[in-house]
Amino acid sequence: MNEMMIGAIAAASFAAGLFFFRFWRSTHDRFFLLFALSFWIEGVNRVMLYETVGLNEEAPVYYLIRLVAYGLILAAIVDKNRAPRRRK
Amino acid sequence: MTPDPDRGAIADDVRRFILTSIPSVPFMEAMLLFKALPGQPVETRSIAERLYIGEKQAAALVDQLCEAGVVAPVEGSPSTHRYAPPADLAAMLDRAAHAYVDNLIGVTRLIHSRTGRMAHQFADAFKLRKD
Amino acid sequence: MAAIIYSLCALTCIACAVLLLRSYGRTRFRMLFWAGLCFSMLAVSNVLNMLDRYIFRDVDLAPARLATALVAVLLIVFGLIWEGE
């Protein structure tokens, strides 16, 4: 059951990331690229690490990659609020 | 990726307004009909006639315009409304109308751009300053 | 270290959820509602990570963690598809 859920999370994360990727392509706003990467990294993170370290989400590499993924979201928000009316 | 040749013609804030607040071309056309007679009562039936659409569709459009604050119902007359937006909305509608007249294809493409609309809605949510 | 990072993740999710749901309250764009729910559930998932490790040591919360994360991502995919109009 856990494997199924991980697989489903990965597939749905890929789909969500794809929507954001398309937003980036049509608006040229890197805000969306960061969100796309974040979802994709998290999806891949879960699958790859399940294969290697199992469900132990304590493993440093696991939560460091998650930090990167969420850091991208924070970066996107900061970036969006930092530049006043700059066309990207 | 070649840039859209129409992009330069529409100002950024008008672009954003069209993407977030103009849901369809008939909505824009109906708005322009009301705008042409500011303050005067307009019957939904005449909107239907002018736009060559059914009355139910016209009524739905008028409802949308009403909800958006563009038109207000006329007291005592059912299915009659007048163009009555608040000042800041009126200014933006003016600019959107001019953009539509100057650049029909560009604005129509914007209105039909579902991706652009959703993207702007999402990105706008993360703006901390309310501009 | 893990606790700090998962707390940060949870806070990021909560911030996103608040921004999205607040914007939904103002604009009524439904897609923002689903996205807001998504990040709320992701926040719950991150909190469950911490509970699993530090509080409920004898119970395995993995199914709950994964289920909330799955529901979260499904919610935003649903919103992006369904409200694409």
CB-based contact C31 B20, cutoff 8 Å: no
The structure's pTM equals: 0.72
Give the chains touching B; criterion: ≥3 Cβ pairs < 8 Å: A, C
Query: How far away is chain B from the Cα of C63, in angstroms, using its nearest Cα?
Result: 30
CA distance C58 to C65: 15
Query: Is pLDDT larger for residue A36 or for residue B22?
Result: A36
Q: Which residues contact B26 (CB under 8 A, 6 or more apart)?
A: B51, B53, B57, B61
pLDDT reading at C84 higher than 90: no
Measured between beta carbons, the chain A residues lying within 8 angstroms of C8 are: 67, 70
Query: Looking at B48-52, B67-71, C15-19, C49-53, which range is the least confident one?
Result: C49-53
Query: Is pLDDT larger for residue A58 or for residue B124?
Result: B124
CB-based contact B122 C31, cutoff 8 Å: yes
Query: Is pLDDT larger for residue B16 or for residue B8?
Result: B16
pLDDT reading at A87 higher than 60: no
Q: Which of A30, C40, C36 is nearest to B119 (CA)?
A: A30
Task: State residue A4's pLDDT score.
Answer: 93
Mean pLDDT value across residues B39-54: 91
Tens-place pLDDT, residues A25-65: 888 889 999 999 999 999 999 888 777 766 665 677 778 89
Q: Which residues contact B53 (CB under 8 A, 6 or more apart)?
A: B26, B61
Q: Which of B31, B2, B3 is nearest to B99 (CA)?
A: B31
Which residue among B119, B120, B123 places its CB closest to the CB of A80?
B123
pLDDT reading at B42 higher than 60: yes
Mean pLDDT value across residues B16-43: 90
Task: State residue A56's pLDDT score.
Answer: 62
Query: How far away is chain B from the Cα of A76, in angstroms, using its nearest Cα?
Result: 9
What ipTM goes with this model?
0.89
Mean pLDDT value across residues C20-33: 90
User: In the numeric block, which tokens belong to residue C17?
Assistant: 């959820």
**DSSP secondary structure string, B16-54?**
HHHHHH---HHHHHHHHHHHHSBTS-EEHHHHHHHHT--
Task: State residue A48's pLDDT score.
Answer: 83
Mean pLDDT value across residues B74-96: 90
Query: How far away is chain B from the Cα of A18, in angstroms, using its nearest Cα?
Result: 12
Task: State residue C60's pLDDT score.
Answer: 85
Is the Cβ of C22 closer than 8 Å to some Cβ of chain B?
yes
Measured between beta carbons, the chain B residues lying within 8 angstroms of A81 are: 126-129
Neighbours of A86 (CB within 10 A): 6
pLDDT reading at B1 higher than 70: no
Query: Is pLDDT larger for residue C58 or for residue B125?
Result: B125
Is the Cβ of C18 closer than 8 Å to some Cβ of chain A?
no
Measured between beta carbons, the chain B residues lying within 8 angstroms of A85 are: 12
